[in-house]
């Protein structure tokens, strides 16, 4: 299982786990927006962590798709340039880029003291974006950064998978020897997994981005209220994507099922082969 593809998938799994760890705090904010009881550091960090992991997942999917494109369309060059050591360096670089891109969010949110509406003599704490973030336009800039992070990779992935599909279709009758057949089968299996992961990613995250843009740009109170309910559903889809990938891997690939069984000590001791 120690292949370059699995290095990417393992790193994406780390990102998914971190996103899921943020889920209880978002559920709390949906249930009780005020008061915020988890302190200033968590208030400022949650947006950074969530967006950073989101960016990381997008970059990982894009990088992995580029690698598969090179391996299928330019196999000889890919064999020379794509090594485990270089992939590990690329993964570390992707994490750095993702976290740096999300780092401004740390200073855009704060634990703000507001007056209690039922008792003006008391104050409560609310985790929200600061007045400076709104007035300076930085919040809107970060909104566009997030949008670009989603739609630009999706455009690139569409082109990449078009080339990959074209190459696999052209080579379907040109396979010679058992090794070539096994390699072709492996390529098709990997592309199938990635295509399903990308599709799940788009289905689960597109409503989240659309809902957020509607909420920011609408001037209608009625539309804003509807978008709030829409965003609740979109948020659930957002977190669903973080938990659905392992299920997809196991449904599609016998290799992953076997590895999962072994990890959980459910496989037979004499089971050795990966099909």
CA distances from 248 to 118, 138, 254 (A): 49, 37, 11
The pLDDT of residue 103 is 93
Residue 137 is given by DSSP the state: S
Query: How confident is the model over 88-146, as pLDDT tens digits?
Result: 999 999 999 999 999 999 988 888 877 666 666 667 788 888 888 888 888 888 888 88
The DSSP line for 55-101 is HHHHHHHHHHHHHHHHHHHSHHHHHHH--HHHHHHHHHHHHHHHHHH
Helix (H, G, I), strand (E, B) or coil at 113: strand
The pLDDT of residue 190 is 72
At 274, the pLDDT band (50, 70, 90 cuts) reads very low
The pLDDT of residue 208 is 80
Query: How confident is the model over 180-204, as pLDDT tens digits?
Result: 666 667 767 777 777 787 888 888 8
8, 60 in Cβ contact below 8 A? Answer: yes
Res. 149: pLDDT tops 80: yes
The pLDDT of residue 97 is 96
Question: Which of the residue ranges 1-15, 127-141, 168-182, 220-234 would you say has the lowest mean pLDDT?
Answer: 168-182
Q: Before 35, cis peptide (omega within 30)?
A: yes
Computed over every residue of the chain, the mean pLDDT equals 80
Contact partners, residue 46, CB within 8 Å, separation at least 6: 22, 25, 26, 109, 127
Average pLDDT score over residue span 192-220? 79
At 55, the pLDDT band (50, 70, 90 cuts) reads very high
The pLDDT of residue 53 is 92
The CATH fold of domain 4-263: Rhopdopsin 7-helix transmembrane proteins (1.20.1070)
Crossing angle, helix 138-170 and helix 39-73, to 10 degrees? 20
């Amino acid at each position: 299982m120690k292949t370059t593809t699995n290095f990417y998938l393992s790193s994406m799994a780390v990102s998914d786990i971190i996103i899921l760890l943020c889920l209880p705090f978002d559920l709390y904010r949906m249930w009780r927006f005020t008061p915020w009881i988890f302190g200033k550091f968590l208030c400022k960090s949650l947006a950074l962590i969530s967006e950073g992991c989101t960016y990381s997942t997008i970059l990982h999917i894009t990088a992995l798709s580029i690698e598969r494109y090179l391996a299928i369309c330019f196999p000889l060059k890919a064999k020379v340039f794509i090594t485990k050591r270089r992939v590990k360096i690329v993964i570390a670089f992707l994490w750095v880029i993702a976290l740096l891109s999300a780092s401004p969010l740390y200073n855009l949110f704060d634990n703000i003291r507001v007056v209690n509406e039922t008792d003006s003599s008391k104050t409560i704490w609310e985790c929200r974006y600061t007045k400076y973030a709104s007035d300076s336009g930085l919040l809107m800039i970060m909104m566009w950064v997030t949008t670009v992070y989603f739609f630009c990779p999706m455009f690139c992935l569409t082109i990449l998978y078009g080339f990959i599909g074209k190459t696999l279709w052209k080579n379907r009758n040109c396979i010679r020897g058992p090794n070539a057949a096994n390699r072709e089968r492996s390529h098709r299996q990997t592309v199938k997994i990635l295509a399903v992961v990308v599709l799940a990613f788009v289905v689960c995250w597109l409503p989240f981005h659309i809902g957020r843009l509607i909420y920011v740009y609408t001037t209608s109170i009625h539309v804003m209220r509807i978008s709030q309910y829409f965003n609740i559903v979109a948020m659930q889809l957002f977190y669903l994507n973080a938990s659905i990938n392992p299920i997809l891997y196991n449904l599609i690939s016998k290799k992953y099922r076997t590895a999962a069984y072994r990890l959980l000590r459910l496989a037979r001791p004499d089971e050795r082969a990966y099909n």
